[in-house]
Structure formats: C-alpha cells, structure tokens
Chains A and B, each alone.
Chain A
Amino acid sequence: KAGVTQTPRYLIKTRGQQVTLSCSPISGHRSVSWYQQTPGQGLQFLFEYFSETQRNKGNFPGRFSGRQFSNSRSEMNVSTLELGDSALYLCASSLVGGIAEAFFGQGTRLTVV
C-alpha cells in the first residue's frame, strides 16, 4: 500500500512569489491535514480537509490556503511569500480524521530567499 506522497520535495522561491504544494493521501483515506514545521515553533496545524471540505483551520494568515479534490488529493497554496514561510510542510493522511491514526508524508522543504 503506497504511503502519503508529497511533491515537490524541495522548493526555493523568492519573496513575493507564490507556491503550490501537493499531497496524495493513502488510498482510501479521505482526510488530509497540513502542518508547518519550523525549528522555533515545532509542528503547527494549518488546515484539514475531508471530502473536499475544509473542516478546520489553524491560526495562519489568509495567504495560506488549500483545497481538496474528489480523489482526496490536496494542494496548499502560499501567496506573497515571506522569509518566515521557510519551513518543512507536512501533510498527514487519515481515514476519516478524528481520533484515527494520521500518517505523514515526507514533506516539502520550502526555502524563501
């Protein structure tokens, strides 16, 4: 059974640009969550999608957005990049969310210069 796939693995962008990251969950999983990981703040929740609907959103500015497609694949977008957006972005796949186990992808390392 394939795991969670995130693409791309690495990205370098300049300030002001926008970026789109992709996450394909484990087959059959319908919940996808996104997290930002930085050395100073640790893992912080961005948002969660289930059946194409955003069910929850973390405390991030509106420049961070996401969506989920009918096949459960999810994308997150960050517009007007800032240096502070440099981080490891992880997505987690879960059967239905809630208390079910969540499995993480390898992450996308975003560097903003």
Chain B
Amino acid sequence: EDKVVQSPLSLVVHEGDTVTLNCSYEVTNFRSLLWYKQEKKAPTFLFMLTSSGIEKKSGRLSSILDKKELFSILNITATQTGDSAVYLCAVPTDSWGKLQFGAGTQVVVTP
C-alpha cells in the first residue's frame, strides 16, 4: 500500500529560526514528490522533485529528495510569521497523477 508519512506533525518556532520538515514515502513506482503550503484553504504549490531534479530552492525555502532512502526534506530558513501554515507532502501513485498526501506538518512561527 502506498504511504506518505510526514514528521513532525506540528512544531512551534520563533521568528528567525530554521525549520526542517520531513516526508518519507513508500510507493510502487516513484515518479515525483510535491510540497505544498496550506494556510487557509487552497494548498499552494511550492516544489516538485523528480529523479532528474532532486534539489530545489526558492528564496528561504529549499527541498531535497533522497531517492535511495525514500524521503524528502523541506527547509525554511529565517522563518517569518507568514510562514505559519500546514506543509503538505504528496506523491503521485499512478501515471495519471493521483496524489497520496501525508497528514501535513503544522508550523507556527511566533514573533
């Protein structure tokens, strides 16, 4: 059975701290891994990692994919209160893109 597990489930940090979120996966035929940020309603796309793109960076956010150990990490440096959100990791489990989501990590950044 395909599985995506995120850890921790929640964390509270102070502004300026660095946050590391984990996503481990077990899928029959790995194609890609996606990270989303969900604040109120719509999950906002952050990164997609594939076999040919195992590291992505955008501003203070970066992500790596370890295909051998079957996990991905999302890093947020110099956190701001606007980074407070649920961060979701998802993996397509078929060739049409059915996404299996992890439970998410709730990040709270305090001033």
Instruction: Name A residues whose Cβ lies closer than 8 Å to a Cβ of B.
Output: 4, 31, 33, 35, 42-45, 48, 50, 55-56, 58, 88, 90, 92, 94, 97-107, 109
Range of interface residues on B (Cβ < 8 Å): 20 to 34
Determine if B101 and A43 form an interchain contact, defined as CB atoms under 8 angstroms apart: yes
Instruction: Name B residues whose Cβ lies closer than 8 Å to a Cβ of A.
Output: 31-32, 34, 36, 41-45, 48, 50, 88, 90, 92, 94-104
Given the contacts A99-B50, A101-B48, A45 and B42 also touching, CB distance less than 8 Å: no
Chain B residue nearest to A58 in the complex (CB)? B98
Determine if A45 and B98 form an interchain contact, defined as CB atoms under 8 angstroms apart: yes
- Which A residues touch B96, using CB under 8 A? 31, 48, 50, 55-56, 97-98
A23 smallest CB distance to B (angstroms): 12
Cα(A94)–Cα(B98), bound, Å: 11
Determine if B99 and A102 form an interchain contact, defined as CB atoms under 8 angstroms apart: yes
Interface on chain A toward B: helix, strand, loop, or mixed SS?
Answer: strand
Cα(A31)–Cα(B98), bound, Å: 11
A87 smallest CB distance to B (angstroms): 12
Determine if A98 and B31 form an interchain contact, defined as CB atoms under 8 angstroms apart: yes
- Which B residues touch A48, using CB under 8 A? 96-98
Instruction: Pick from A31, A33, A42, A107: contact of B103, CB below 8 A.
Output: A42
Cα(A101)–Cα(B32), bound, Å: 9
A46 smallest CB distance to B (angstroms): 10
Cα(A97)–Cα(B96), bound, Å: 5
Cα(A105)–Cα(B16), bound, Å: 31
- Which B residues touch A56, using CB under 8 A? 94, 96, 98
Instruction: Pick from B36, B95, B103: contact of A98, CB below 8 A.
Output: B95
Best-buried of A35, A43, A100 by chain B (most CB within 10 Å): A43
Determine if B42 and A31 form an interchain contact, defined as CB atoms under 8 angstroms apart: no
